[in-house]
Amino acid sequence: MRTIAMLTAFALMGGAAFAQSAGEKLGVNSALGIAPTTQDFVTQAAHSGEFEIQSSQLALERGDASSKTFATQMIADHQAMSAQLKDLVKAKSINVTIPQGVSASQQSMLDKLKTLQGADFDRRYRDDQSSGHKDTVSLFERYAKGGENADLKQWAEQATPQLQRHLKQAEDLSARAEK
């Protein structure tokens, strides 16, 4: 009910671009399977990659052996993906802004991780990795299917299997820890 009210309000405010951007921010697009705008995709992909890098750097300092192994892979893979995104945007002169750092909600998650040690840290890191990769897989799948920019669509399609593997690894890591 609340979602319908928000969608109606956005539609009445005008501009499909505003509604789509707001819908992405509120998770409405994800729930409905709607592709993000190109700027929303680039923003969220960049923020997501940076969150994976920063949270995994913390895991290298505070995590157990399994978390550290996973974190090492996340840092390498997400640094490479971030570089690919930047190179693609530059090479194809795609008119978007690539943000630096993480989103406000991701910063809150990082701040929480910084307060934790031991098993509490590992549990939270693994949960954050699972939920973050679920969101990222959804983002990339939706853009690959219906995105506006052909080059970014192709990149999203090519990157999705790797992100799906990351999600499976994160879920497996959490499942092993629960046993």
- Considering only residues 120 and 176, tell me which one the structure prediction assigns the higher pLDDT: 120
Residue 140 above 60 pLDDT?
Answer: yes
Task: For residue 43, tell me if it sits in a domain.
Answer: yes
Task: For residue 174, tell me if it sits in a domain.
Answer: yes
Task: For residue 6, tell me if it sits in a domain.
Answer: no
Task: For residue 21, tell me if it sits in a domain.
Answer: no
- Enter the pTM of the model: 0.84
Task: For residue 10, tell me if it sits in a domain.
Answer: no
Residue 166 maps to which CATH number? 1.20.1260.10
Ramachandran area for residue 135 (φ above 0: left; ψ -120 to 50: alpha; else beta): alpha
> 111 is in which domain, residue-wise?
37-178
Residue 170 above 60 pLDDT?
Answer: yes
Residue 29 above 90 pLDDT?
Answer: no
Residue 25 above 90 pLDDT?
Answer: no
pLDDT value, residue 91: 97
What separation in angstroms does the CA of 81 have from each of 20, 78, 87, 121, 175?
A: 25, 5, 10, 26, 26
- Considering only residues 25 and 121, tell me which one the structure prediction assigns the higher pLDDT: 121
If one counts the domains in the chain, the total is 1
| Whole-number average pLDDT of the chain | 88
Task: For residue 27, tell me if it sits in a domain.
Answer: no
Assign 31 a pLDDT band (cuts: 50, 70, 90).
confident
Q: What is the mean pLDDT of residues 121-139?
A: 96
pLDDT value, residue 22: 72
pLDDT value, residue 20: 37
Task: For residue 7, tell me if it sits in a domain.
Answer: no
b/e code 144-168 from CB counts within 10 Å (16+ = b):
beebebeebbebbeebbeebeebbe
Task: For residue 23, tell me if it sits in a domain.
Answer: no
